[in-house]
Chain A
Amino acid sequence: MRRLLQSIIHNRKLYDRPQDEWTCGRAAEGCACVFGPGAKGECRATSQCLPAKQGDRWVCTRAISLGAACAPGPLPDGSCGCPVPPCRPVRSLRSQRGRLTWLAVCAALGVVLLALWGRSGQAWTNPGPLTAQHATSAQRCSDCHVEPATVAVTAVAAAARRAAHDTLCLKCHDLGRHGRSPHGVEPADLARVSAATKSNLAKVPVWLAAAQPLVRGIAPDLACAACHQEHHGRDFALKQMSDQQCQVCHQGQFASFGDGHPEFTDYPYERRTRLHFDHTAHLQNHFLLRQVVARAPTSCSSCHEPAGDGRQMLVRDFAQSCAKCHAGQIEGEGRAGAKGLVFLRLPEFDTNALQAAGEPVGEWPAFCEGGLTPFMRWMLEGDVVARDALGVLGPANLADLSAATPMQKAAAARLLWSVKGLLADLVAQGQGVMLRRMASPTKTGRTGQLPADSLLAVQQAWLPNLLKEVAAYRRGEKPALPVRAAPATASLPAAKPGAAKPAADDDLLSDAPAAPVPAAVTVAAPPPASPSPALIEMDDAELRVAEGGWYRRDETYTLYYRPDGHADSFLTAWLDATAGDPSSSARAIFAQLSDPQAPGLCMKCHSVDTTKSGTLVNWLPARPEPNHHKFTFFKHAAHFSLMGDQGCKTCHALDAKADYAAAFGTNRDPAIFHSNFAPLSKDTCATCHQPGAAGASCQQCHNYHTGTLQTLRAPVSDFKRPSTGN
């Protein structure tokens, strides 16, 4: 029989107090005193009992569990006869656990206090390393967090708090005008697209359909942190989103790219090409011509190459792709008319009518042809008198003023003197006059480096007395009625002895070469067609500037500019300057330069776009725009190895019926076009882009933030002059 350690007799059992903080130090020896330790752990033992007085005797009251009444019994003074030596109370288990709990709480509190306010607090409170980009750009918590941030209780306060935090994000990240709007699209546009989109409910996954009601109303107030969650490590994918997260706001939802994704409509041909290049015409006609076939490209890569990032396919530059066939055309090869651009000429005036009306005209060639050139008209409009005269003249024909009113004749005379004044100013002051008269904000290319000597030679050849006449006219001296003068020469006249000196106060003419002062104002005879006789026969003036430059034709009193080839800076500068200028003068210049037969043939290939942001001549084909985030992107280079025998035609099939050329000419809207190629088929992509193969996630092809955005707004500090301390 197993012996029992514990007594089961009720009055023999000890009274345990496990809930007490302290237990008697002698409890383990079976000698625990009946009083037990005090609340603070002090021993209260003195004796085994407190004797009770019964009548005149003291009686032992020791507990039965301690052996009942003791043998010696109480002392005569009533004290216990079994004194108990003091013990060292020990803590109960419960008390020990309580102390440990306090210790743990204090330790945790210490850690928290150090973390929040300690020297290395930021390292402790930082919920995790930032991504590499933010780790180097954000120095303090307040760079990205509103401090102090109030706890938002109401929805309005929460929205304000989100907006405040987003503002900090947008300090560096430009998301356009509607940065907080979904996709950065204007809300009205978004509503329009949403209204036009319908979901194919049969193909919407259950989870997506169930989640969609949860986003109603929050889309316009989506915090940046809803998608971009920081503090998850240096290499954390901040942009990573699930396809369902991408689709949850959309009206048109679908299961996957292969199952339900909308068919492509115009992708990737979203606009007119910047250069007018008809692939169909070139591939099916021009490149097959016998005289061209040797120079024709042999493959797409002859003219196209991938951009550095492998995404866009670029058009190689003019020299590599077009020059073999078109360089000569641009330089004027085989051109019937003048190879140069008419810049300036002496217009034909009805000098007889002017003389008859008593308007002095001074020296003026009798056989001029044509009217004012667009460039001259713009420069003359910079002169108040000329502008007024042109206004009075209206549509009157300067070459035949017989039917003109006296007022128009007077205006014609003023205009004639303004033309002379313009020419005189050009001779005297050079290119600066062009820029001033045209109020040109920039000078780049606008002057075509027009040489001062050319202007001087023009003046000497056409109007030898111009400077004197204009000076006199501006002094208010009325020139005498004209008499026919001896013909001028094209050569620079040498100063002749006895020639009258210019007026001392006429600074304009102070540097001008001396010329004979005519006895009377003359009408100049046409200069000889060729320069003065020379020992060596001279080539035609146009041939002498085969590489581009200025030349004149004295027989027509015209100054030409011959382009120096492709991308001539003078032509491009003036086309850029006048393309979007609504003034009549600018439009006239643009019309002159953009004529399909104009020298340089610029507009034969380069289109002009007029959009909300202005008018732009497309000098270059599409180029990578790092700050322009399209909704859809594609990496060509990653797909080269997948092309079969068809090569680029695998995706880009020619659409021979498309009226490609119709989108050019007078059309300036790049959105109106017909591509040379048929739109891509979604099935072509879906062949590989399946979840188990090349992947079919939204982010493989789509950007969320769209538009022209600066990836990072670099804070640029102002350069301030140091304070003088004065």
Chain B
Amino acid sequence: MKPFVRRRWILSLVTLGVALVLAGTWRLGHIALRPVAMYSGWLLLALVLGLAFFNARKKLPFLPLLDANTWLQGHIYAGWVAVFVYFLHAGFRWPDGQLESLLALVFYVVAASGVFGLWLSRWLPPRLARSGESLVYERIPLLRHRLLAEVKQTVRQAETETQSTTLGDFHLHFLSGYFSRRPGLLSPLTGEDRAHHRVSRELTALRRFLNDREAAFADQLAEFVETKRNLDFQLAGQRLLKVWLFVHVPLTFALLVLLAAHVWLALNFSHRL
């Protein structure tokens, strides 16, 4: 068994054990008429603060607080526990108040985005690695720009050398649009690649009308098309790996604000402190 698989098993079992202990404690407290909502509330608050501190930990790399990987593992499994504690706290039902409904909605979205991000970070990177050259996300716009310039250069050279506008017309009708388009946000998930197939098909169909010299240029263009496919996949995939944090992180901080209000209201109005 690979070390990381063993680690995953162990941590999953530990998390399950913690959840079972919490569920048992909650049930005992519920039977004993103890204020389990209050206890679970405090626990949930501590868990959410701990989870949110992961973001702060990344900004404070100088602090000797374990390594980022350990924090990430703690974040993942503590997150599962937090979701379970939330269900205990809310009594497995949707809250009735407006502020609490908003709080629940934000918590659900944060938790769901976290689960989505976790899955994405496990599912997408191997596919990105397999699809072709791995690229630095910040350089992709530059690479796109360069690729577009190279395609134009190649088409121009083909027209000059072959004295034919066949490849130029093809570029005008198909290639320019294909190379300038940006991939859809969720295309790595949907596997949407119709534009690439369409261009490849058209380019293959065009070969019947090309002479040998033009065919050599067509081969170069086919290579550019394949490069663009990988570039798009890298762009869309890496963008998706960053975009889910646009939901998870901002809403986490919104959640903290709403949590503070919820705690304040509970402390002020609860009959059972």
Contact = CB atoms under 8 A, between A and B. Distances in A.
Is chain B found bound to chain A in the same assembly? yes
B104 to A, nearest CB: 11
A27 B142 contact: yes
Which of B100, B106, B136, B142 counts the most chain A CB atoms within 10 A? Answer: B142
A307 interface: no
A232 B258 CA distance: 20
A-B complex: 7 closest residue pairs judged by Cβ atoms: A128-B96, A225-B271, A28-B141, A214-B32, A104-B250, A127-B97, A108-B254
8 contacts: A93-B242, A108-B254, A115-B98, A125-B97, A145-B268, A215-B33, A231-B96, A232-B96
B97 A112 contact: no
Interface stretch (B6-14, B22-30, B165-173, B183-191): B22-30
A105 to B, nearest CB: 5
Nearest to A213: B32
A6 B33 contact: no
B268 A148 contact: yes
B44 to A, nearest CB: 16
Query: Does more than half of chain A's interface fall in helix, strand or loop, or is it mixed?
Result: helix
A648 interface: no
Contacts of B143: 5-6
B253 A112 contact: no
Contacts of A123: 98
A29 interface: yes
A16 B136 contact: yes
Contact of A245 (B31, B35, B106, B250): B31
Contacts of A132: none
Contacts of B193: none
A162 to B, nearest CB: 7
B223 interface: yes
A242 B31 contact: yes
Contact of B141 (A27, A104, A224): A27
Contacts of B146: 5, 30
Contact of B269 (A149, A208, A245): A149
Contacts of A232: 96
Contacts of B96: 127-129, 231-233
B142 A158 contact: no
Given A30-B142, A112-B258, 18 more contacts: A2-B132, A6-B135, A6-B143, A28-B144, A28-B145, A96-B246, A101-B250, A116-B264, A128-B97, A149-B268, A214-B32, A215-B33, A222-B33, A223-B271, A225-B271, A225-B272, A226-B272, A242-B31
Interface of B: 27-35, 95-100, 102, 106, 132-133, 135-139, 141-147, 223, 226-227, 231, 242, 245-246, 249-251, 253-255, 257-258, 260-261, 264-265, 267-273
B253 A104 contact: yes
Query: Does more than half of chain B's interface fall in helix, strand or loop, or is it mixed?
Result: helix
Interface string A103-120: 111011101100110000
Given A6-B139, A149-B268, A245 B249 contact: no
Interface string A209-234: 01110110010001111110001110
A115 B265 CA distance: 11
Contacts of B254: 104-105, 107-108
B157 to A, nearest CB: 16
B185 to A, nearest CB: 14
Nearest to A165: B271
A158 B35 CA distance: 12
Contact of B257 (A4, A97, A112, A158): A112
A223 B200 CA distance: 74
Contact of B253 (A16, A101, A215, A218): A101
A97 B145 CA distance: 25
B269 A158 contact: no
Contacts of A141: 269
Nearest to A30: B142
Contact of A5 (B35, B102, B135, B258): B135
A242 B145 CA distance: 69
Contact of A124 (B99, B136, B251): B99
B28 A151 contact: no
B27 to A, nearest CB: 7
B233 to A, nearest CB: 13
A112 B261 contact: yes
Given A29-B145, A127-B265, A215-B32, A100 B271 contact: no
A183 interface: no
